[in-house]
Structure 1
Amino acid sequence: MTQKRIRNMEEFAAVSGISRPTVSKYFNDPDSVRRSTRARIEKALERYDYRPNIFAMNQNRKLTKNIGIVVPFMADPVFAEHARNIEQRCISAGFRPTLYSAHGDPALEVDILDGLRSLKPAGVLLAPLGRASDQKEIEKFCRDVPTVLFDSNIEGLGEAFIGSDNFSFVSQTVEYLTRTGAPPSFFEMRTPANPNANKRRVAYIQMMDRLGLEPHIIQIEGEGWAFEEIGRRGALEILRDNRLPTDSILCSNDRLAIGLLSACCELGYRVGRGPDCNLRVASNDDHPFARFTCPSLTTAAHDYDSVSNRSVETLFELIESGGEFRNREETLFPSRLVLRNSA
């Protein structure tokens, strides 16, 4: 028998070389895993003299079935798509998910977390506002409640972060636009609401430098989450003043791109790949409405299913590990380029 003290299921899984979900499955029902896997687990149990806190596990299952899901802005279809998938996974696993929206308000975000703390949930999946968040309050909450961040990251907070690889988004769109026509300018808000926007700007500059091209960043005024209207107003001003440095535009996100397409339509600019078109427009996210814009929007798509599923799986693993991982985990999923008529 080893003298190493194993504190929780996550540590036991690590030293035994067996995944946490499989170990958890064994403790729920030893006959639910393969005979060879069961033998490995039982050998490791004997070696490390580990026994799970069955009382705590049962408490989690019988008394704390609540899962909190917090998003920054429920009216944003990107978050609605993530939340829909997460809710379904939680319900199918026997938990009771409750969905909250901060509506872009950092004070409301803190109030939501305070209310969740009083409900003593089994765990929380949090997509924070990011730059606008009260990080001290979120840090305090993460110490009290098993929390996994998704979509928008705040470095070091929560036991894990699950999201999309922003460089993957931008590198694919820049490479495609450059290969098929004029290099793109980057269209964004001067004060972005979501932290992913900053990562996408950095990725655009890096890709343009890598290709030996001059980056052109178009920043428009506007704050908050009304991206379509902000994009429309900013694009009208840019187009009327003839301030476009190139005839290819890469938007920071699809909602800004929808606003830009509206401005183009209003001013008579033809967008697309044809010889009679004035502009090519591409973007990032694959907003659920992106295929229905006119023209349909070329974009780099989130892997919604993978981000949502892994977020839920990670939270379940965290709950079964006693609410703490040995090291903070980060998982990023690449995007995929979706070619449509706008570029």
Structure 2
Amino acid sequence: MQDVATRAGVSAKTVSRVFNDDPHVTEDTRQRVQSAMRELKYVPNMLARTFREGKSAVIGIAVPDVADPFFAAVTKGIELAAREHDMAIVVTSLGDNPSLEQSIIEATVRRQIDGLIIAPIAADQSYLARWQDSFPIVFIDRVPTKLNADYFVEDDFGGAFEATQHLISHGHRRIAIVGDSPDVPTTRLRLEGYRAALDDAGLEIDEDLIVLGSRDADAAAQVCKTLLALSDAPTAIFSSNARFSTGVFPALQALKRSDIALISFGDFPMADVLQPSVSVIDQNPRQVGRIAAERILARIATPDKRFRRKNVIPVRLIERQSCQPASAVLASSVAV
């Protein structure tokens, strides 16, 4: 710290204030200190600092919705990994308004966190650059924009391609896709995978069967009913996330449409015991959370080590009853 202070022409106390993001430090001084830190490759040992101060290190977690089955499981994975290293977590929901992301994250950062795991909703994360010298930042589920940082994302394109291809292999030609807004990166990639699978099979893409923009399970249920009311209705539905699947399945049951195949991108509670049980593209969200937390810990423990920043996690198809051929689905269905 003294070396940094000497190079920047300030006191060691000022270096400490910059590191702790003290708002009273002038921007010119902050830039000189941060420049000196980069030149000297100075990274404080944050775990040692927190233990010295008599408090636990804290990992901040920011996801679109903590109630979403996927993000709830991711958070649990982070929590378990953090607990093993005597670390605490603080969790916040970003919601669905991209303009609020920065202010929510800044409020989280002010809690003196020692690492941040974020699934962003905005189109620009460059505002986080000022904190990269202070603590490690890891992105999950979505790739950061205008910022070079670690990220762990699932194979959204490949999973959607496999799901759609699987339905095609069971004889389905009218396959609908329902999901979030295409502005959401994961939804966009899953739509591309869906389209690619249809194209690969030589099937015409019917835009009437692509219904994106739902915000919750209830909206997805209504979309399902609308799709099945079409004169040339789909015989199968690909739900692009687990949250919407919890709306689509009850809608099919209410309509007594056990002949409609269903596959969900993302597992959800009870999916394996429903009748029919729901086929899914499994993202293993707890593992996603664990490896993100482990990267935070590794960055803290070995700040000079080079790590792969771009990490794409494979997904896998779990075949259950809901995407079998119509005759098999009908035979195994029981009213819920």
Coarse TM-score class (shorter-chain normalised): 0.7 to 0.9
CA positional deviation for 1:55: 6.2
Unaligned stretches of 5+ in structure 2?
A: 1-40, 324-336
3-state DSSP of counterpart to 2:280 = strand
Contact 2:152 2:312 in 1 (8 A): yes
Q: 2:256 aligns with which of 268, 271, 288?
A: 268
Q: 2:75 aligns with which of 73, 83, 101?
A: 83
Contact 2:225 2:251 in 1 (8 A): yes
1:242 match: 231
Q: How many residues align?
A: 281
The amino acid of 1:340's aligned partner reads: R
Correspondence 1:88-127 to 2 at 5 A: 88-127=80-119
Give the TM-score taking structure 2 as reference length.
0.73
Separation of aligned partners in 2, 1:261 and 1:188: 12
1:220 match: 211
CA positional deviation for 1:268: 2.9
Cα deviation, 1:41-61, whole Å, max 9, x if unaligned, reads xxxxxxxxxx99786663265
Percent of aligned positions that are identical:
23
Give the superposed CA RMSD: 3.0
Contact 1:221 1:234 in 2 (8 A): no
Question: How has the CA–CA distance of structure 1 residues 330 and 252 changed in structure 2, closer, same or farther, with 3 Å as cutoff?
Answer: same
Contact 1:253 1:284 in 2 (8 A): yes
Contact 1:205 1:215 in 2 (8 A): yes
3-state DSSP of counterpart to 1:115 = helix
CA positional deviation for 1:325: 7.1
Correspondence 1:117-156 to 2 at 5 A: 117-129=109-121, 132=122, 135-142=125-132, 145-156=135-146
Contact 1:106 1:134 in 2 (8 A): no
Question: How has the CA–CA distance of structure 1 residues 320 and 156 changed in structure 2, closer, same or farther, with 3 Å as cutoff?
Answer: farther
The answer to whether 1:68 aligns with 2:60 is yes
CA positional deviation for 1:81: 0.4
Give the TM-score taking structure 1 as reference length.
0.72
The amino acid of 1:93's aligned partner reads: H
Contact 1:280 1:342 in 2 (8 A): yes
CA positional deviation for 1:74: 0.9
Contact 1:303 1:333 in 2 (8 A): no
Correspondence 1:299-310 to 2 at 5 A: 299-310=280-291
Question: How has the CA–CA distance of structure 1 residues 232 and 242 changed in structure 2, closer, same or farther, with 3 Å as cutoff?
Answer: farther
Unaligned stretches of 5+ in structure 1?
A: 1-50, 271-276
Question: How has the CA–CA distance of structure 1 residues 293 and 52 changed in structure 2, closer, same or farther, with 3 Å as cutoff?
Answer: same
3-state DSSP of counterpart to 1:283 = strand
The answer to whether 1:339 aligns with 2:331 is no
CA positional deviation for 1:264: 2.2
